[in-house]
Amino acid sequence: MSHKAWFQCASGCDERYELNEVIYKCKKCGNLLEVKHDIEKLKHRSPKSWMRLLDERYRRTKWPYGSSVWGKKEMVCPNVSDDNVVSLYEGGSNLFWAERLGKIMGVEDLWIKQCGNAHTGSFKDLGMTVLVSMVKQMISEGKEILGVACASTGDTSAALAAYCAAAGIPAIVFLPKDKVSTAQLIQPIANGALTLSLDTDFDGCMEIVREICSKNKIYLANSMNSLRIEGQKTVSIELVQQFDWEVPDVIIVPGGNLGNVSALGKGFILMKDIGIINKLPRIVCVQASKANPLYQSYLKGFKEFKPVKAQKTLASAIQIGNPVSINKAIKILKMFNGIVEEATEDELANAAALADRTGLFNCPHTGVALAALSKLVKKNEIKKNEQIVIISTAHGLKFTDFKIRYHENKLDEVNPKYVNLPVELPPEYEVVKKTIFEKLETVNKL
């Protein structure tokens, strides 16, 4: 059975375009496009049979279905032929019960979905595999695409660079100068991307890359390109799959450009349409107080939206004042009984450090999600017996600077509560022993 997907205008004007067309916005009304699937055709297979098929493929080696994105190919991007898939075996990230952290935070059933345990260290791989595969497909069909470009707060460029390097396609990444971590900067450099460091912020890079791509044969890889959303939406399918096809009560996700929260919702809607699930979770989107345009809009019941000038935040991947996917995100939040919360620098850094003390190793964005959870539990908006999933978006090793400066008490506006510094000692048995027994009582206690 051949499945097919297409771009469709998200504004309701219903214009359609082929997925192998170089297009990001509706030609008629200028709105963002969405990838649509033939749901009737997907329903030819029963929900039970889909679950069995997806489970059979999950993390096996049959190309390209072992990848948790391509294992769901019919629901993601059936239009790419298997030979043109550019995959690094994405998805399949661990989902675990954070028992100790949950207890400390006053909830009974807290789970962490470690999307940062990924090829390039963030969830961005899930979407980039789809986008770069479609580019390879278009090139193989004879379309002239000279390269693929993106603006990035760090992780998108790392993913684009890796997938393009794997496919041998030129990648061009636009980074705001001095606003990404060293680890994030070294990734595109190592993968051979043309790395442009612009003296502006993310929103400034975005403006230029849009112009470059609209006037030249360079393909735009930012999340206004809805192919990426298709890959990213597999996080919801995968997580339900990991819960043996049960839906959790609440999912908390940090949001910047708001592609990921839109993708999360889209995955659940698809599963419900096909009949794989029959209820929806509540979705909580969280922002740093320094870059909180969605939160501001939420406070006004989403009646209006105003972009803000994003201030510098430790949660650098969500330092975005004018999110591209704002309309999609608001639509999803309304459908999913959504909540938006914010976290200050102090709250996010301490939440990340507290979680680290229970065995995690969190990026600052996951810190934002954890801080928001704490606040929402205190306000009783999240109940202590609900099953809660935190979407951890990147690997902590990408943000070692943040962690070192936390423990050295060098972060602005942060009063660190969980400092743990190395103890310098002479190499002498008695001194070492004395120190151990002086400190032992406090080690791993909270």
Ligand X SMILES: *Cc1c(COP(=O)(O)O)cnc(C)c1O
Residues that bind ligand X (CB under 6 A): 122, 124, 155, 223, 254-260, 317-318, 363, 365, 393-394
* 15 touching Zn ion, by CB under 5 A: yes
**Residues 132, 167 contacting (CB under 8 angstroms):** yes
Q: Which does 28 bind (CB under 5 to 8 A by kind): ligand X, Zn ion, none?
A: Zn ion
The window from 20-28, 70-78, 106-114, 322-330 that contacts Zn ion (CB under 5 A) reads: 20-28
* 16 touching Zn ion, by CB under 5 A: no
- At residue 183, φ and ψ (nearest 5 deg) are -60, -40
**Residues 6, 19 contacting (CB under 8 angstroms):** yes
- Cα separation of 405 and 401, whole Å? 6
Least distance (Å) between residue 148 CB and Zn ion: 25
The smaller minimum CB distance to ligand X, of residues 277 and 326, is found at 326
The smaller minimum CB distance to ligand X, of residues 317 and 353, is found at 317
Least distance (Å) between residue 380 CB and ligand X: 27
- Cα separation of 222 and 259, whole Å? 9
Among 16, 18, 29, 106, binds Zn ion (CB under 5 A): 29
* 253 touching Zn ion, by CB under 5 A: no
Read out DSSP for 102-132? HHHHT-SEEEEEETTSSTTSBTHHHHHHHHH
The smaller minimum CB distance to ligand X, of residues 136 and 398, is found at 398
Q: Which residues pair with 393 in a beta bridge?
A: none
Tokens linked to 215: 């006037």
Tokens linked to 66: 């072992």
Least distance (Å) between residue 328 CB and Zn ion: 14
Least distance (Å) between residue 18 CB and Zn ion: 15
Q: Which does 258 bind (CB under 5 to 8 A by kind): ligand X, Zn ion, none?
A: ligand X
* 404 touching Zn ion, by CB under 5 A: no
Least distance (Å) between residue 12 CB and Zn ion: 8
How far, in whole angstroms, is CA 46 from its chain's centroid? 30
Handedness of CA 39, 41, 42, 43 (dihedral sign): positive
- Cα separation of 178 and 377, whole Å? 36
Q: What is the binding site for Zn ion (CB under 5 A)?
A: 9, 11, 13, 15, 26, 28-29, 31
